[in-house]
Structure 1
Amino acid sequence: MSNTFLRLGVLFALVGVSLGYWMGVTHQFLLSPVHAHLNLLGWVSMFLYGLFYRAMPDAAGGWLPKIHLGLAVIGLTVMMIGLTFMLTALPDLQPWVPPLMMVGPTMVLLGMFVFAFVVFRTTGARPAAA
């Protein structure tokens, strides 16, 4: 789980930084919100998730971390596609914006709730070993 999140974080960083580089070179900053979300939710959050699962290997067991991974990655990807469609305002893509911008952010939020549950479950008070 840790390696998956760490590697995904780096991949999202490459995409986010590349988009930022392209915007700087072309002086076209329309997709700045996509760049910002890719860097924050993609790079920073995914990498932090990976570091947490590395520091707390017991947290990576079971089905909840897998649900967290799916919600975080699919949710961010769907949200970035929807945000790109919305910002580019291409008429043929506009019908896709409402469902993508409802589903993607909802998945990201649910993923964060699952992660919060995993963190609290893993870091909660434990009875002393006998």
Structure 2
Amino acid sequence: MLSVSNNFLRLGVLSALAGMSLGVWMGANEDFTLRTVHAHINLLGFASMMLFGLFYRVFPSAARGWLPLVHFTLSVLGFLILMPTLTLMFLQKPFFLPALIASEIMLVTSMLLFTVIVFLATARGSERVAI
């Protein structure tokens, strides 16, 4: 069974590893062309996905139903499309602009859904796990 919390946490740490590896590579080569990609991997991949995963862990009832699955799907697809298209753009290689725009729309929509999920889960009387 899909655990939204576990999957966000796993993707978060994988993103941290990828973002840090890119940072090390940039430093070793003294080529910081992809610094924006590095920042996006760390922010959208590591920070956001870890926070999503931790939120769903603290509010397990928020992880039930179709809304968290749509949130997860849009977050992951948007991230996986944005990173290569952004990379190609900064390397001044041909890239597919509609894919870049679509990924940005997916990511903003996923954050909008997460906002709804947070407000619903933190309403009075919602189940929460003590930390």
TM-score of the superposition, structure 1-length normalised? 0.91
Greater Rg by CA: 1
In structure 1, C-alpha distance between the alignment counterparts of 2:59 and 2:70, rounded to whole Å: 17
In structure 2, C-alpha distance between the alignment counterparts of 1:84 and 1:60, rounded to whole Å: 32
Aligned to 1:20: 23
In structure 2, C-alpha distance between the alignment counterparts of 1:12 and 1:39, rounded to whole Å: 7
Show the 5 A alignment for 1:18-97.
18-90=21-93, 93-94=94-95, 96=96
AA of the residue aligned to 1:5: F
Q: CA deviation at 1:101?
A: 1.6
TM-score of the superposition, structure 2-length normalised? 0.90
Please report the RMSD computed on the Cα atoms of aligned residues, expressed in angstroms.
Answer: 1.2
CA contact (8 A) 1:79 1:104 kept: yes
Q: CA deviation at 1:19?
A: 0.3
Where do 5+ consecutive residues of structure 1 fail to align? none
Deviations 1:53-74 (A, max 9, x none): 0000000000000000011111
AA of the residue aligned to 1:10: V
Identity %: 47
Q: CA deviation at 1:8?
A: 0.5
Deviations 1:24-73 (A, max 9, x none): 00001100000000001100000000000000000000000000001111
Aligned to 1:109: 108
> Structure 1 residue runs of 4+, over 2 Å off?
none
Between Structure 1 and Structure 2, the one with more helix by share is 1
CA contact (8 A) 1:75 1:107 kept: yes
In structure 2, C-alpha distance between the alignment counterparts of 1:3 and 1:81, rounded to whole Å: 24
In structure 1, C-alpha distance between the alignment counterparts of 2:31 and 2:112, rounded to whole Å: 35
Q: CA deviation at 1:79?
A: 1.0
